Amino acid sequence: MTVDGRDARWEQHRADRRRELVSHALRAIRVHGASVGMDAIAARAGTSKTVIYRHFGDREGLYDAVVESVHGYIRSGLSAAFHLSDPSDLGRLTADLADAYLELVERDPEIYRFVMTPPPQGADAVADPVRGLPGLIGEQISAEIERHLVQRGIAPDAASTWGHGIVGFIKSTADHWMASSPRPPREQVVAHIAQFFAPARMAASATIPVSQEV
């Protein structure tokens, strides 16, 4: 099937324009806060709400695009944490992931609050448990844990529970940390997390190996 060059250029233009609008939305969130309205985002982008809706459909569409952008931004930090840690060592892994996660929260608190506050879905919408930043990160972490457990010949059954559980723990810790006054240093919070999960470092040796067929 031949692809029309004009169609390809138009699709690329639309993709570039969406990225540009998401960038403006992020800037507007930093200036106006997590409750920023569509008017302020449109003004920041030098366009109208109609144009934004044309590219994203509605506020939900823009929210999902911002979440994906933020996830892409921190993906490298999470990947670095995986390289620093053995994903079967839940204690060390959780501390390293928490450090990357809390660094994002500390650097961009309003954007963090925005992505953690999804707009209400329609009455007929089907709830998506992976929607939002924690779900995306949980899926990524679960996949990495599963991959490393399989490489070590360990049953990966617990990977999803561990991955999403770790994210839930870190998110709750981050929310409490952001609300604290005075706020303790990030390094101190990460050290407390490492201390709490220290017993999990022995979990890998007790994990049931993948069964071998006879």
- The one-letter amino acid at 99: D
pLDDT given at position 160: 93
CA distance 120 to 81: 33
Degrees to nearest 5, angle at CA 70 with 180 and 172: 30
Q: Domain 67-119+130-204, what architecture?
A: Orthogonal Bundle (1.10)
User: Which of 213, 211, 212, 208 lies closest to 88 in space, CA to CA?
Assistant: 208
The whole-angstrom separation of Cα 57 and Cα 185 is 41
Distance separating alpha carbons of residues 208 and 127, to the nearest angstrom: 34
Q: What CA–CA distance (Å, rounded) separates 131 from 52?
A: 21
Q: What average pLDDT does the structure give for the chain?
A: 82
Q: How confident is the model at residue 144 (pLDDT cuts 50, 70, 90)?
A: confident
Please tell me the distance from the alpha carbon of residue 53 to that of residue 39, in angstroms, as a whole number. 12
Model confidence over 60-74: pLDDT tens digits? Answer: 899 989 988 887 777
pLDDT tens-place string over residues 95-143: 888 888 898 889 889 998 898 888 876 655 544 545 567 888 888 889 8
In this prediction, what percent of the chain has a pLDDT beyond 70?
Answer: 82
Percent of the chain at pLDDT exceeding 90: 33
- At a CB cut-off of 8 Å and minimum separation 6, what does 24 contact? 41, 44, 45, 46
Answer whether residue 80 shows pLDDT above 80.
Answer: no
Residue 134's Cα: distance from chain center in Å? 5
Residue 84 has pLDDT above 70, yes or no: no
Residue type at 111 in one-letter notation: I
* Higher per-residue pLDDT: 80 or 127: 80
